[in-house]
Amino acid sequence: MFDWDAYRKRVKWFTEARFGMFIHWGLYAIPARGEWVRSFERISVEDYQPYFEEFNPVDYDPKAWAKAAKQAGMQYAVLTAKHHDGFCLFDSKLTDYKSTNTLCGRDLVREYVDAFRAEGIRVGLYYSLLDWHHPDYPHYGDRDHPMRDNEAYKDYTYNFDNYLEYMHGQIKELCTNYGKIDLFWFDFSYNDMEGEKWRATELMKMIRTYQPDVIVDNRMEVNATGKRSLLTENPTPYSGDFVSPEQIIPPMGVVDYKGDPAVWEACITMNNNWGYCATDHNFKSPEMIIKKLVECVSKNGNLILNVGPDAKGNIPQESLDILAAVGRWMHKNGDSIYGCGIAPVAKPDFGRVTAKGNKVYFHVMEPLVGYVPLMGIRPDTVKKVRLLQDGSELRLANDWITQNYPDIAFITFGANPYLPDPVDTVVEVELKD
């Protein structure tokens, strides 16, 4: 039976953190056409090899990455220890296809975990269940493999059990060689490549043996489009700990079989690619990201926001500027995000609402005519109201304008018709016990 008590303890920090950094980085930063470049362009192992021989991120400074994440208000991070191309950013004893064998000669994962821990940020590792480099991973006829339609591989034979031993062995290395890991992000299942095809029960048992407190996404069992057993009464041993919608915020949030809010995390890119793409400058604005983070929290979810460093190891300046702007808002308004979730009141027309304990946070995202109605809050239940960004008092309005609505608390920001924060002005309402 699924241990729900252990589960709730395990995910507690995650549901309080709410905001994380995803980092997609690897050899694909050199061609700079996104992390799926090998698959999309049908690049062979031989034609991809020059990127391995060239890889030398001379500017890689994970301390700078960690500081950028901390200043943005992010509480955890996840780095691609191995992506679909099979290249490892860690010093695995099971392959030569790793960063320590490139010109840089460094265990990039070890430097990452040390730097982010030093900033007080919880560390996560992404590991691709797929591997387009390993000779025993399915080639011809696979859905995504670069050689999927190459006739030269039609009669190619492979031993998938050999790959599974390799994959399990590498995950054991990540479990045992880098101290406490807070989160494992496995990617991804598809077609019949799911669940026990990965020997998933055995794998999760091994992970829990070495990292009993680690939380895991649900993609051993499903892809981003699935939910499956985690939301049922009795999840599988490999169900994972949270649902992982990708490039979408669930319109109604995510609920379990009882209709109760479930644990989930939306993974979102800053532009249109996960890995570095030199020509992709379609970055989301800081204002949009702030509002999407608030939306996730108001639906009881997390947001993990991606950066794709370049071949030299630099996070693009556009990303750094966005993170800094989000961080300025978070510095003043983070109390309405951390540890918050669904509020006991309906979504207002002007924005969103989050809540924590006896505090309800109204996120006012557009100016209103006259007073701001705190829908769902009766005036006689209010202990105090404050503007969260500076702690200044906001008084309840009670005059001829509001007298027709005695069951609704109203506040005002004063005579200026513009909001104190044009992106999201947060009103903290403390309710009486």
Question: Domain residues of the chain, as ranges?
Answer: 4-339, 343-431
**197 has which bridge partners?**
none
Q: What is the pLDDT of residues 248-294, one digit of tens each?
A: 999 999 999 999 999 999 999 999 999 999 999 999 999 999 999 99
| Separation CA 334–CA 290 (nearest Å) | 11
The CATH superfamily assigned to 343-431 is: Golgi alpha-mannosidase II (2.60.40.1180)
Handedness of CA 78, 79, 84, 90 (dihedral sign): negative
* Amino acid 223: pLDDT: 85
**Contact between residue 128 and residue 134 where contact means Cβ atoms under 8 Å apart:** no
Query: Checking DSSP bridges between strand 392-393 and strand 341-342, what pairing results, if any?
Result: unpaired
pLDDT surpasses 90 at 417: no
* Percentage of the chain lying above the pLDDT 70 cut: 100
* Percentage of the chain lying above the pLDDT 90 cut: 98
* Amino acid 379: pLDDT: 98
* Amino acid 247: pLDDT: 98
| Separation CA 123–CA 116 (nearest Å) | 7
Average pLDDT over residues 214-229: 91
pLDDT surpasses 80 at 227: no
Average pLDDT over residues 197-208: 98
Average pLDDT over residues 98-123: 98
End-to-end CA distance of the chain: 38
Q: Which residues contact 154 (CB under 8 A, 6 or more apart)?
A: 140
Q: What is the pLDDT of residues 155-198, one digit of tens each?
A: 999 999 999 999 999 999 999 999 999 999 999 999 999 999 99
Separation of CA 94 from chain center: 28
* Amino acid 154: pLDDT: 96
Instruction: Look up the CATH architecture of domain 4-339.
Output: Alpha-Beta Barrel (3.20)
CA angle 73, 284, 20 (to 5 degrees): 30
Average pLDDT over residues 107-135: 98
Q: How confident is the model at residue 224 (pLDDT cuts 50, 70, 90)?
A: confident
Q: Taking the complete model, does pTM exceed 0.85, yes or no? A: yes
pLDDT surpasses 90 at 226: no
Give the chain's mean pLDDT: 97
| Separation CA 64–CA 84 (nearest Å) | 26
Question: How far, CA to CA in Å, does 19 sit from each of 122, 267, 372, 427?
Answer: 11, 10, 28, 20
| Separation CA 39–CA 224 (nearest Å) | 19
* Amino acid 228: pLDDT: 87
Average pLDDT over residues 88-117: 98
Convert 204-254 into a string of H (helix), E (strand) and C (coil): HHHHHHHCCCCEEECCCCCCCCCCHHHHCCCCCCCCCCEECCECCCCECEC
Structure tokens at 397: 């309005």
Q: How confident is the model at residue 317 (pLDDT cuts 50, 70, 90)?
A: very high
Structure tokens at 208: 């829990």
pLDDT surpasses 90 at 296: yes
